[in-house]
A and B are shown apart, each in its own frame.
Chain A
Amino acid sequence: MTILLEPEQQSPAPHPEVLDNPRWIDPALPGVDRAFHGVARSIGIAVLVIMGAIGVFLGWQSIPTFQRYGFGFFTESQWQPENDTLGISSVLLGTFTVAVVALSIAFPLAFTTAVYISEYATPRIKSALVSLIDLMAAIPSIVWGLWGFFLIQPKAIHVAHWMHTHLGFLPFFQVDTDPNASSWAQSRYAASAFIAGIAVAMMVLPMAAAVMRQVFSQAPMGEREAALALGSTKWGMVRTVVLPFGRGGIIGGTMLSMGRALGETIAVVLIISPSFDIKFRPLEVGTESVSALIAGRFGEATSAQLSALLTAGFVLFIITLIINTLAAMIVARSRSGADTD
């Protein structure tokens, strides 16, 4: 016999709010984990704080310059402290000229070296090449500067002359001298952005090659075998599987090299002859870069000029920060940077 319970005797209906929701679980980290967490987090924050402090310091030091010269600081090309005419437009252009020259030499070399090392080299050659490239990165900048000045410049002048003679119809390759004179003016081709770019290229090449090489070697074996099993040649497989996979690393590595090339100092100082014309002619004598300007003028600067130099450094800092951030974002979003299965 069933018994019907009175309404107040039946078990209460569940509260609507206490239906099925996740419960909070205490992570209950052991002490060691908590300590490590704390230390790691503080160090990370410290890095951010230092970076921010540098930016704030440079920005603070730039205030007098902006107050004095205003926006004209970016449009003025001449740097004449005795006339109180200071501007970094030509200096910024020169910085980019040297970096562009360096990248156009370094990128093809780094790319082909990375492809060779990761895809074609036998194991012994591979380890030898990897060590050599890392050694290249360890060579001090000033040695590259001396190499560029004493070894490369005498020969590169002739290369520049050849380019001017045969490609001089393009404004990029022009030099304000007559290339076809029987004794052409060698000094007009020396101390140029081109020669500085060669030295800087050697400095950024190892980093770009290392990033690209690591990225290529991570291309998944399954896809490689799929391409080969279809009847592909090795180069076809590299072109279809490895290079698309490594696109993020190629771009990221190149942009990191760009950031380094923009800031390279001592090699550029040793090679170039300072000039403040607005021009985009890397073969011609005379250029200036922000870091070379600071290195060259720091010793004799008055406080006003010091502020101007620091402002130039601040601009370079911001530009490099943007480029490196973009590079990191591109690499992280790509297959080669993110974790793949």
Chain B
Amino acid sequence: MTATLDPAVDSSGLSSRGGTLEAQEISAWFGTNKVLERVSLSMPANTVTALIGPSGCGKSTFLRILNRMHELVVSAQLNGKVLLDGDDIYDSGHRITETRKRIGMVFQKPNPFPAMSLADNVTAGLKLTGMKVSRSEKEALIERSLTRAGLWNEVKDRLKEPGGALSGGQQQRLCIARSLAVEPEVLLMDEPCSALDPTSTRRVEETIHEIKDQVTIVIVTHNMQQAARVSQQCAFFLAEQGTPGVIVEAGDTEQIFGDPQDPRTEDYVNGRFG
């Protein structure tokens, strides 16, 4: 299957079509263990939505449901709908590979492909999804993706080196570039900075800030200050002892941090637990 890159680009050469994600009544199980209880959340287009909350309350599970990675676990089950621009991605008409191309993911531990060069790593998504691009377009795409990820200046002279030969922060930005190369509408980020030093963290946050006009971002983070820095919307997850995770409060970041409605939210954002 061949597909040229999307022609709907603005004058800067970057496509600007973030998608709207909406989760409706999502419940999730691992075997008989229920981990999410009827979670609903709207993630508007071209905004950064942060999922915050203490460990083990289902944030990462919720995130992985958004791009159909949850079902990779053998005992995993779910209920509810996830609408990307109005279409339920779990409908039987939709191909999983297409969904995962439109909703990309960056993981907590950077995972570049070590056997491939940096350039091949960036275009790995194209190869894996069968998108054909010409040679010149491919080089332009590599530069564009690495620039969007904030990595181009550091690696432009060593694109042939293997993907594993970078520092942790550079590897994570390479993974971001790799995800951006397939022009997703949504980018899910599962604690992308938790394994990085503060300098790399700052760079990744700059990247998030730059790409949010082209891609909708949903980021899971343990770091409340980070959530306050990068996001416009926030959702506070909580799983009280023995019960599945729920969203206690969701809304504008300023409101969640400045004027939380629920006392549990107020306790969490003020560092009284978590």
Contacts and interface: CB of A to CB of B under 8 A. Distances in A.
Contacts of A232: 97, 100, 125, 128-129
Chain B, interface residues (CB within 8 Å), range: 20 to 34
B69 A228 contact: yes
Interface string A210-235: 00000000001011011111111100
A244 B100 CA distance: 23
A147 to B, nearest CB: 38
Contacts of A233: 97, 128
A305 B264 CA distance: 91
Nearest to B128: A232
B217 to A, nearest CB: 15
Contact of A230 (B72, B114, B115, B128): B128
Given A225-B69, A225-B72, A226-B175, A231 B111 contact: no
A229 B128 contact: no
A151 B243 CA distance: 63
15 contacts: A123-B74, A220-B111, A225-B69, A225-B72, A226-B111, A228-B69, A228-B100, A229-B100, A229-B104, A229-B179, A230-B129, A231-B99, A231-B100, A232-B97, A236-B128
A68 to B, nearest CB: 53
A244 B115 contact: yes
A240 B97 contact: no
A153 to B, nearest CB: 44
B111 A230 contact: no
Contacts of A241: 113
Interface string B105-141: 1010101111100000000110111000000000000
Interface of A: 123, 220, 222-223, 225-233, 236-237, 240-241, 244-245, 335
B98 interface: yes
Contact of A231 (B98, B109, B113, B115): B98
Nearest to B106: A229
B182 interface: yes
Contacts of A220: 111
A226 B107 CA distance: 8
Interface of B: 67, 69, 72, 74, 97-101, 104-105, 107, 109, 111-115, 124-125, 127-129, 175, 178-179, 182
A5 to B, nearest CB: 48
A228 B68 CA distance: 10
A229 B179 CA distance: 9
Contacts of A226: 107, 111-113, 175, 178
A231 B128 contact: yes
A335 B115 CA distance: 10
A231 B129 contact: yes
B101 A230 contact: yes
Contact of A229 (B67, B112, B114, B127): B67
B247 to A, nearest CB: 24
A335 B67 CA distance: 30
A230 B125 contact: yes
B109 A222 contact: yes
Given A232-B125, A245-B115, 4 more contacts: A225-B111, A231-B99, A233-B97, A240-B127
B52 to A, nearest CB: 22
B19 to A, nearest CB: 15
Nearest to B115: A244
A230 B179 contact: yes
Q: Which residue of B104, B107, B115, B182 has the most chain A CB atoms within 10 A of its CB atom?
A: B115
A236 B125 CA distance: 10
A231 B125 contact: yes
A223 B113 contact: yes
Nearest to B121: A226
Contacts of B111: 220, 222-223, 225-226
B249 to A, nearest CB: 29
Nearest to A227: B128
Contacts of A237: 128
Contacts of B128: 227, 230-233, 236-237, 240
Contacts of B99: 231
